[in-house]
């Protein structure tokens, strides 16, 4: 079964308002749809990534560079094809993020085609450990005019949407102000609602320790990327050992070997490496296996359309993450025609082959990047 052609489409959606994290703000939702066509019929098609502005054009260009490595190759040779793409990507360190995202997009679409050729959902092809997963919201952003009352109402709304919990943003305000936000969220959500916090690499070690110690009172699920990039592994290890708070990281790495370094450095309890940036499912599954050998749980940074299948296939899975607010992610809300149901904190896995999702052509036409 040979690969005949590869096509890409960039989508860009301006958001109605600006959403702020610990160290960044976002005003648009972007992604790339990648299609792999075979000579015999099965077509792999999936959207992945969230690189905006000029980054999206660079990823699309990188996919065009990688295409000749795959055209005419055997579809089922996933490991060999990944190695070909990675060798090319590794030769250009200046463009590493864009090339690795291109490798990821192609690997994701390739696996969708493989699942369709096998007529199996990918989570079953990869191991079939479970057919449903707990799901949490990425929310609690910093927004203009958003006070503690509005944050509290947001927590109640997330519960009503069927979420098992929330990963809320911290790190932009003082430690004391962020603890007040966490306290308000816990009071509004109730004791049985999961709450994680994501600092987006905002703090030095001193502030990370101050927040983690104060946050223990509010039954924190995990603290994500609490440390600035220059002291991450050692700093996160100290946060874990000194406070007992679970730490999550991995979304900012580009390979399974970097995931290995986080695990060997005793820096994390959850590994949230993102298959849409760090090499696709082929590389993600290697990291997941290494994590399982070290009693580290797997998470996944955003991208629920991809992460569901990956997490459901492994025994050491944590939670799917999504943006239930359509103002934050209009694509999760509108692009997928057969989005699986969410109820009582659980999302069911799609039953169709591959990633099992179908996309609305009108939404694609509306947001296509010209």
Sign (positive or negative) of CA dihedral 287, 292, 293, 295 = positive
pLDDT tens track for 221-242: 999 999 999 999 999 999 999 9
58 occurs within a structural domain: yes
pLDDT tens track for 136-173: 999 999 999 999 999 999 999 999 999 999 999 999 99
- CA dist., res. 118 & res. 141, Å (int): 41
Residues 275 and 195 in one domain: yes
353 occurs within a structural domain: no
CB 280 within 8 A of CB 106: yes
355 occurs within a structural domain: no
Per-residue pLDDT, 136? 98
Q: Report how far Cα 163 is from the mean position of its chain's Cα atoms.
A: 17
Write the CATH number for 90: 3.30.390.10
HSE toward the beta carbon, residue 333, CA cutoff 13 A: 12
Residues 186 and 142 in one domain: yes
pLDDT at residue 40 tops 90: no
The C-alpha angle with vertex 353 and arms to 350 and 358, in degrees rounded to 5, equals 65
Per-residue pLDDT, 329? 97
* Coil, strand or helix at 289: helix
Helices (H) and strands (E) in the chain, counts: 13, 13
Tell me which residue of 52, 60, 71 sits closest to 6, measured CA to CA: 71
- CA dist., res. 193 & res. 164, Å (int): 6
Write the CATH number for 262: 3.20.20.120
Residues 135 and 280 in one domain: yes
pLDDT at residue 370 tops 90: no
Domains contained in the chain, number: 2
Domain that holds residue 304: 124-348
HSE toward the beta carbon, residue 167, CA cutoff 13 A: 27
Per-residue pLDDT, 42? 83
pLDDT at residue 52 tops 90: no
Residues 100 and 202 in one domain: no
Residues 190 and 87 in one domain: no
Q: Tell me the DSSP string of 64-133.
A: HHHHHHHTTSBTT-HHHHHHHHHHHHHT-GGGHHHHHHHHHHHHHHHHHHHHHHHTSBHHHHTT---SEE
Phi, psi for 129 (deg, rounded to 5): -70, -35
Per-residue pLDDT, 41? 82
Residues 318 and 217 in one domain: yes
pLDDT tens track for 289-316: 999 999 999 999 999 999 999 999 999 9
């Amino acid at each position: 079964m040979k690969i005949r052609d590869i096509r890409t489409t960039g989508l860009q959606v301006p958001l109605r308002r600006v959403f702020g994290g610990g160290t960044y703000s976002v005003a648009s939702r972007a992604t790339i749809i990648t299609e792999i066509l075979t000579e015999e019929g099965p077509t792999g098609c999936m959207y992945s990534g969230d690189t905006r502005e000029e980054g999206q054009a660079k990823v699309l260009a990188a996919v065009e560079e990688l295409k000749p490595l795959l055209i005419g190759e055997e579809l089922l040779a996933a490991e060999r094809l990944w190695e070909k793409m990675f060798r090319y990507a590794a030769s250009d360190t200046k463009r590493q993020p864009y090339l690795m995202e291109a490798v990821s997009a192609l690997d994701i679409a390739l696996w969708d085609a493989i699942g369709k050729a096998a007529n199996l959902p990918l989570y079953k092809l990869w191991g079939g450990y479970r057919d449903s997963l707990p799901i949490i919201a990425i929310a609690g952003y910093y927004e203009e005019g958003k006070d503690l009352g509005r944050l509290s109402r947001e927590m109640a709304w997330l519960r009503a949407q069927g979420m098992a919990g929330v990963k809320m943003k911290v790190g932009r305000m003082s430690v004391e102000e962020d603890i007040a936000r966490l306290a308000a969220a816990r009071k509004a959500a109730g004791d049985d609602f999961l709450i994680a916090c994501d600092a987006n690499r905002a703090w030095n070690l001193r502030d990370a320790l101050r927040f983690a110690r104060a946050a223990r009172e509010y039954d924190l699920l995990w603290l994500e990327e609490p440390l600035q990039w220059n002291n991450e592994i050692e700093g996160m290890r100290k946060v874990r050992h000194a406070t007992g708070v679970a730490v999550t990281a991995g979304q900012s790495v580009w390979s399974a070997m970097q995931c290995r370094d986080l695990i060997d450095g005793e820096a994390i309890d959850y590994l949230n490496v993102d298959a849409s940036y760090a090499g696709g499912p082929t590389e993600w599954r290697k990291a997941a296996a290494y994590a399982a050998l070290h009693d580290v749980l797997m998470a996944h940074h955003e991208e629920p359309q991809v992460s569901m299948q990956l997490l459901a296939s492994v025994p050491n899975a944590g939670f799917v993450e999504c943006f239930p607010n359509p103002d934050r992610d209009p694509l999760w809300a509108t692009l997928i025609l057969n989005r699986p149901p969410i109820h009582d904190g659980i999302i069911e896995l799609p039953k169709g082959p591959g990633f099992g999702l179908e996309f609305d052509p009108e939404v694609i036409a509306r947001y296509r990047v010209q």
